[in-house]
Structure 1
Amino acid sequence: MKNLKKEFPVTANYTHLNTAGTGLLSETLLDFRQNHDLDYLVMGSLMKDNQDKFTTKVREEVGKFFNCKAQNVALVTSFSTGFNVFLEALPAKSKVLLLQEDYPSINWPVEARDFDISYAKIDVNLEDNILKAVEKEKPEVLCISLVQYISGVQINLEFLKSLKAEYPDLLICADGTQYCGVAPFDFENSGIDVLGASTYKWLNAGYGNGFFLFKDAVKDRLKPKAVGFASIRGKYKEAGDTLIGKFEPGHLDTLNSGSLQAAIQLVNKIGYSAITTQIELLKEKALNAFAERNLLDDVVINRKQHSSIFNIKGDQQLFEKLKQNDIICSQRGDGIRVSFHYFNTEDDLEKLLKLI
């Protein structure tokens, strides 16, 4: 996979272990953006005359990529933007189950509203904790991250599927920002009702773009209040009063939405087989190496499934040492967060281990 570093020039000068913080700009994405703005420069509004057709193609490509009907794909500027529209679409006083210390962009918007909120603990028994909380609290909505941003703990997707089968009326909304782009995801055959994501991380699509996917059954339960002229513009929205139209009240930027399309096309070109093989290789080697050095929390070590995000034990001095040696990572929680994507190599891991 070393040849893929050429696609991401940052990796020529730095060891980038920070996709969990920010993804990279690829040569493919740069080419699209330069061509897009050149067309805008020389064509002006003539280029924008095709905006609706362009965003329709983006919507359809996102739907195909995640196996979701195009008419159920909303294009948004970020997860937070779409999630707040989603929350406003829920009935007042809804009973919502969250995870303790989940990503602030999930918990804070829920806690800012007048919902009846309960929590499940994030530990080695995460799935059991959620199940017990559902049995006890009987929530109407479950809002969770598929991957925890601090620890890298990953929810078992088969558990969500079985949970939905056992509690079909439970509305499951998931944030896929730290997951989408790592492995193939079949939305229609998942247990998730609503999946949202910002795509500047693992899809390397740049800032200002994201999506929300919906199952058909959700349309009768959500009553979004947002609306604007763009709510009826383009294929799949022309009939008016559509769910995705309420999530897209304003103009969509073709530069940003097109960046998502270009990023998806790059993933398709590389192939998920190669991507997941490389990530799984690095994840296994990193997990074993970190565990041997006593750098991981017991929660991570004792779970059967984990993401390629790790929070290793380390202080400010180690963090500064890594930065001085051109390793890009983040301080999160009580440690140092490192994350491995498909453009990373075993050499990257070895460099990190030597410095530690």
Structure 2
Amino acid sequence: MTSFKKYFPITKQCIYFNSPSSGLLPAPVLEYRQEHDLDFFVMGSAIKDGRGELLTNVREKVGALFSCAPNRVALVPNFSYGFNTLLEGIDTPKKVLLLEEDYPSVNWPFETRDFEIAYAQINGHLEKNVEAAFAKAQPDIFAFSVVQYINGIKINLDFLKKLKTKYPETLFFADATQYIGTEPFDFDNSGIDVLGGSCYKWMNAGYGNGIFLFKEEVAQKVAPKTTGFNSQYGKYKQQEGSFIGRFEPGHQDTLNYGSLGVAIDIINEIGIDTIHDRIQSLSAKAKTAFIEKGLLEEAVAMRTQHSSIFNLKGDQALVKQLEEKGIVCMIRGEGVRVGFQYFNTEEDLETLLSAL
């Protein structure tokens, strides 16, 4: 089996299971960043000459990877920035359905604004809980994380598509920070209206870059108020009006978005299907082993589909014990969180199981 540790030299020194907290910086991305800043150092303002082409190219790479037209792709510094921009464009009050104890950057922006909020519980019956909450609350907006950051519970995407068919007027907003980069995803064929995510985790693109994808009809229902000179700058903004520009009001950072472009090149070189197969295979073996050791909560153990993130029964003493064996992970919630990326191997898993 091909080893992809070559992209990540740190994996020669440790076993890295902390992608849910921060992805690693691949060597080609580091090389790009060094060359970019050297060019800036010696060229000054002349570096801006290629900005438009670079940003257009990155937008097109994002669109191709996730099956979304590039004129509906916004490049943002991070998920929270883009999400708050989105919510500022929604007239309140609106009825919103959230998930209990979802990622704060999903729930807090609604809870601090004038929305009428209902909640569905995150457990082994997540989809049934959401369906029941829809029937009761009849929400205008459903906002959720595709993959839960604490225990890795992943909402069923086929369920979302059917639910959207049943409630076509409800806007579905998804945080995909813990999802994008782990498997193929066809945005235009999904039940999601707006998908956003920071790209420093599973995309391995470094900090300072994120994406938002929009269905065409969203621009008719949301009117962001942010604006600036750069909101009209660029090929797709000029052609399609200012909706995407509302999410990009100022000068775009070619260092960070260029890093995203290189990260996508690596994903394309490896193949998103290959990445998915490796993550899925390793995660399935890990789940079976974790269940046998009694390390998983029932809500996760009973799920037929799961992500690459697991929360193991343990405490800070266990984290320290694992660190002493060169295993990088962290406390999240009430346990020890680990995540399996495509550069991880069965040998890595065996070392973890032995340490546990």
TM-score, with normalisation over the residues of structure 2? 0.98
Measure the CA separation in 1 of the matches of 2:290 and 2:61. Answer: 38
Measure the CA separation in 1 of the matches of 2:43 and 2:316. Answer: 51
| Corresponding residue of 2:233 | 233
1:152-171 to structure 2, matched below 5 A, reads 152-171=152-171
Amino acid at match of 2:103: Y
Classify 1:272/1:239 alpha carbon distance in 2 versus 1 (closer, same or farther; 3 Å). closer
| Corresponding residue of 1:61 | 61
Measure the CA separation in 1 of the matches of 2:306 and 2:345. Answer: 19
1:267-299 deviation digits (Å, cap 9, x = unpaired): 000012221121111111100100000000011
Amino acid at match of 1:131: E
Report SS of the residue matched to 2:142: strand
Measure the CA separation in 2 of the matches of 1:226 and 1:293. Answer: 51
| Corresponding residue of 1:275 | 275
- Asked whether 1:330 is paired with 2:330, we answer yes
Measure the CA separation in 2 of the matches of 1:240 and 1:123. Answer: 42
| Corresponding residue of 1:74 | 74
Measure the CA separation in 1 of the matches of 2:19 and 2:239. Answer: 39
Classify 1:74/1:324 alpha carbon distance in 2 versus 1 (closer, same or farther; 3 Å). same
Which range moved further: 233-242 or 19-28?
233-242
**1:240 shift after superposition:** 7.8
**1:312 shift after superposition:** 0.4
Classify 1:350/1:240 alpha carbon distance in 2 versus 1 (closer, same or farther; 3 Å). closer
Amino acid at match of 2:179: Y
**1:239 shift after superposition:** 5.5
**1:3 shift after superposition:** 2.4
Which range moved further: 172-181 or 38-47?
38-47
**1:253 shift after superposition:** 0.3
| Corresponding residue of 2:3 | 3
Check the 8 A contact 1:2/1:343 in 2, yes or no: no
Amino acid at match of 1:74: A
| Corresponding residue of 2:118 | 118
Measure the CA separation in 2 of the matches of 1:246 and 1:351. Answer: 48
Amino acid at match of 1:317: A
Report SS of the residue matched to 2:3: helix
| Corresponding residue of 1:92 | 92
Q: Percent identity?
A: 54
| Corresponding residue of 2:350 | 350
Which range moved further: 254-263 or 51-60?
51-60
| Corresponding residue of 2:288 | 288
| Corresponding residue of 1:263 | 263
Amino acid at match of 1:68: C
Report SS of the residue matched to 1:296: coil
| Corresponding residue of 1:51 | 51
**1:237 shift after superposition:** 1.2
Measure the CA separation in 2 of the matches of 1:97 and 1:224. Answer: 21
Which range moved further: 29-38 or 181-190?
29-38
Measure the CA separation in 1 of the matches of 2:12 and 2:3. Answer: 11
1:178-229 deviation digits (Å, cap 9, x = unpaired): 0000001100000000000000000000000001000001110001010001
Structure 2 stretches lacking a partner, 5+ long: none
Report SS of the residue matched to 1:49: helix
Aligned-residue Cα RMSD (Å) equals 1.0
1:158-189 deviation digits (Å, cap 9, x = unpaired): 01100111110010000110000000110000
| Corresponding residue of 2:39 | 39
Classify 1:20/1:114 alpha carbon distance in 2 versus 1 (closer, same or farther; 3 Å). same
Check the 8 A contact 1:79/1:177 in 2, yes or no: yes
1:4-48 deviation digits (Å, cap 9, x = unpaired): 111101101010001000000111111211221122122111111
Report SS of the residue matched to 1:338: strand
Amino acid at match of 1:242: S
**1:241 shift after superposition:** 4.8
Measure the CA separation in 2 of the matches of 1:179 and 1:211. Answer: 13
Classify 1:122/1:188 alpha carbon distance in 2 versus 1 (closer, same or farther; 3 Å). same
Measure the CA separation in 1 of the matches of 2:325 and 2:216. Answer: 50
1:213-261 deviation digits (Å, cap 9, x = unpaired): 0000111000101000110111111258521110111111000001111
Check the 8 A contact 2:160/2:192 in 1, yes or no: yes
**1:88 shift after superposition:** 0.6
Which range moved further: 334-343 or 85-94?
85-94
Structure 1 stretches lacking a partner, 5+ long: none
Measure the CA separation in 2 of the matches of 1:272 and 1:196. Answer: 19
Count of residues in correspondence between the two structures:
356
- Asked whether 1:182 is paired with 2:182, we answer yes
Check the 8 A contact 1:95/1:139 in 2, yes or no: yes
1:288-327 to structure 2, matched below 5 A, reads 288-327=288-327
Measure the CA separation in 1 of the matches of 2:169 and 2:280. Answer: 34
| Corresponding residue of 2:26 | 26
Amino acid at match of 2:162: S
Check the 8 A contact 1:231/1:240 in 2, yes or no: no
Measure the CA separation in 2 of the matches of 1:303 and 1:297. Answer: 11
Report SS of the residue matched to 2:117: strand
Check the 8 A contact 1:2/1:345 in 2, yes or no: no
Which range moved further: 68-77 or 317-326?
317-326
